[in-house]
A and B are shown apart, each in its own frame.
Chain A
């Protein structure tokens, strides 16, 4: 398999890696960059635990081809906490007991972050829709929905641009 050089931004840092041609973004992240936060749950694009942001849009890294991300801006949970401070979403997930086994949590956090980018004051219905591609087998979703709503409140109270 040919090795293909790729340049991209990962959580604000410029990266250059060689990948096998045809590899997915998930493999690029996990095997090449050492960022193991995006999980491999189904490899079908159905469970959502590999969700990352590509140029600000939520993408399932397991069905996104790495070569389509050349030059892209990629964000993962590893970039969520800024300057050592947890993101309000991370705080809220802890407070609301919204993570049980923790395997879906990175995908949930990135799906919620994608929501906040376009809709900083989501309704409950908006949150349910935003998380509709992410499966959690432990919590029954309600604590996660509450966590996202509560994070949105905290962030809108602390002013625009907090996302």
Chain B
């Protein structure tokens, strides 16, 4: 028992260690793992710090953006090419949380946390994971589906997505506390227009299930429609389809489902309802 800290320069070495040591866990910004240990979770016996500089890099090539898993929210906010992502990065916490909290760590945050993962889901991100069997790329939705039963030794090293067209990414988070707090609901959307109608839509919800989820039914229904009030009135039954929100100290499941269409409407029709 007891607690220790191990530093690894190579991802592969960390993977091997994690596979052998049951109580070892990768630490990012500490907002989830160190908190767990502080609160008495004795199952965690070793913090694993991976020091691969690749995991702290932000790269862009051919319209494809790659964020290392240890890139912090503060780093994202300071990156001139990613200012359009700032609404999602800024809302993760106060400045001190943002200088610690990482892109990779956010993917492990339990509902109602993990707002940046909601943005990545709407961006159609792919996760690169290093595990005992090698390197794989998983669509983010698949990662979330498997999150509670990941194989030992698995390390998320980066996420990647195609830069959306300017002005197509939208993000909102509703909290009880201003200027920020845990999500009642968070919503991210990438909506491409085609001759005045919705050509393609990826919409993701946070705090509406155990992990961020896509609004699949609503997305499908939206294709080919005009983005106007009448459309959203008609499609409203699709909005909560497939959602299984938690009831917690922030909001009840009933309340989350009741206000989700309101916040979605404000996000999609800011000129009318914002």
Contact = CB atoms under 8 A, between A and B. Distances in A.
Same assembly: yes
Interface of A: 1-2, 4, 20-22, 24, 43-45, 48, 51, 57-60, 62-65, 67-68, 111, 114-115, 128-134
B27 interface: yes
Contact of B96 (A4, A111, A128): A111
B3 A20 contact: yes
Contact of B38 (A24, A48, A58, A128): A24
Interface stretch (B29-37, B155-163, B165-173): B29-37
Contacts of A62: 34, 38
Contacts of A131: 94
A56 to B, nearest CB: 10
A65 B47 contact: yes
Contacts of A43: 35, 38-39
Given A58-B99, A63-B38, A132-B180, 14 more contacts: A1-B2, A20-B3, A22-B37, A57-B99, A58-B95, A60-B96, A62-B38, A63-B30, A63-B100, A65-B34, A67-B7, A132-B95, A132-B179, A133-B96
Interface residues of B, number: 28
Contacts of B95: 58, 111, 114-115, 129-130, 132-133
Contacts, number: 91
Contacts of A114: 95-96
Contact of B94 (A4, A24, A63, A133): A133
B28 to A, nearest CB: 11
A22 B5 contact: yes
Residue of B34, B35, B39, B180 with highest tally of chain A CB at under 10 A: B34
Interface in B13-51: 27, 29-31, 34-35, 37-39, 46-47, 49
